[in-house]
Amino acid sequence: MINSIIKNLKTELKKQDRPANRINYQQFFKEKLKEPTGLRTSILRDISNAHFRSIDNQSKDNILKICNHLLKDGTRYFRFFAFEWALKVKKDYEKADFKLFEGWLKKYVNDWGSCDALGTGALGHLVLKYPELSVQTQKWAISKNMWLRRAAAVSLIVPVRNKLLLDEVFQTADILLTDPEDLVQKGYGWMLKVAGDRFPDEVYKYVMKNKADMPRTALRYAVEKYPTAKRREVMKK
């Protein structure tokens, strides 16, 4: 079955690959991409949704196995389909799926786009369902791999958006507070921004307490939605 799926996806990708459907992805990334241009996300999502219908009667385990095969293909497109399809079976997630998703993070994530797709997708929804897994995601915050460090923050966005794991958000931000990588800073700043939507007073106190140590990039992301006067107050040195 997997060979047929891959063949059909490649046929559709080739069919859609024309100038009007393409975009320069390199403009969104600091790091040099192996595939700097490609099909627009909206086109990929249409392909993804259409072809998922051929397997949506499969069990969660079978669908995740298919996703695993797609990731082994190594292309951006198939990674996109894998992460999209894995999210479609979120209602059937089991705690044991964490090992698989963590393996995907370590092996297949190599830019902020794929980090965020997995982190706010399958991983984030798995942690939402099993909040105790945040003990595991927090370990990534001390990794030498910057994408794991960003994922430590990004994977908490879905739970905190649902008013869960605020303490874990602050603990993760504490670990990442002075991280040298701006993409990690943006990741935990984003996490704090989302947390601030649900817990405005608590996050404001945290930001004010730590603003002297937070890199400006992280701070700007964290307070992006604040009213102008309040944002200026936080950003003052």
Give residue-wise pLDDT tens across range 26-45.
Answer: 898 887 777 888 999 999 99
Query: Domain check: are 112 and 81 in the same one?
Result: no
pLDDT at residue 55 is higher than 80: yes
Long-range contacts of 91-98, Cβ-Cβ distance < 8 Å, separation of 24 or more: 92/59, 92/60, 93/60, 93/122, 93/125, 93/126, 93/129, 93/130, 94/60, 95/126, 95/130, 95/133, 97/64, 97/122, 97/126, 98/126, 98/130, 98/133, 98/136
Query: Domain check: are 157 and 211 in the same one?
Result: yes
Average pLDDT over residues 119-134: 98
Residue span of the structural domain in which 31 resides: 1-92
Average pLDDT over residues 137-165: 98
Mean pLDDT across the chain, nearest whole number?
Answer: 96
Query: Domain check: are 61 and 143 in the same one?
Result: no
Query: Domain check: are 75 and 142 in the same one?
Result: no
Query: Domain check: are 67 and 110 in the same one?
Result: no
Query: Domain check: are 106 and 63 in the same one?
Result: no
Phi and psi for 110 in degrees, rounded to 5?
A: -140, 15
CATH number, residue 200: 1.25.10.90
List the structure tokens of 188.
């935990």
% of residues, the chain, pLDDT over 90: 90
Average pLDDT over residues 125-129: 98
pLDDT at 237: 66
Amino acid at 137: T
Q: Rounded to an integer, what distance in angstroms lies between the CA atom of residue 172 and that of residue 188?
A: 8
Query: Domain check: are 76 and 126 in the same one?
Result: no
Residues with Cβ within 8 Å of residue 7, at least 6 apart in sequence: none
pLDDT at residue 215 is higher than 80: yes
Residues with Cβ within 8 Å of residue 4, at least 6 apart in sequence: none
228-235 vs 200-210: helix axis angle to the nearest 10?
A: 30
Query: Domain check: are 54 and 168 in the same one?
Result: no
pLDDT at 48: 98
Please identify, among 77, 92, 107, the residue that sits at the C-terminal boundary of a domain: 92
Radius of gyration of the chain (CA): 19
Query: Domain check: are 9 and 78 in the same one?
Result: yes
Per the CB < 8 A criterion, the answer to whether 162 and 124 are in contact is no
Average pLDDT over residues 147-156: 98
pTM of the model: 0.95
Question: Alpha helix locations (H) across 53-210?
Answer: 60-72, 76-88, 97-108, 112-118, 124-129, 134-137, 146-154, 157-161, 166-176, 182-198, 200-210
Per the CB < 8 A criterion, the answer to whether 214 and 181 are in contact is no
Residues with Cβ within 8 Å of residue 208, at least 6 apart in sequence: 234
3-state secondary structure of 24: strand
Number of structural domains the chain divides into: 2
Write the pLDDT tens digit of every residue in 187-210. 999 999 999 999 999 999 999 999
Query: Domain check: are 33 and 85 in the same one?
Result: yes
Q: Rounded to an integer, what distance in angstroms lies between the CA atom of residue 65 and that of residue 137?
A: 23
Q: Rounded to an integer, what distance in angstroms lies between the CA atom of residue 65 and that of residue 89?
A: 12
Query: Domain check: are 81 and 152 in the same one?
Result: no
pLDDT at 61: 97
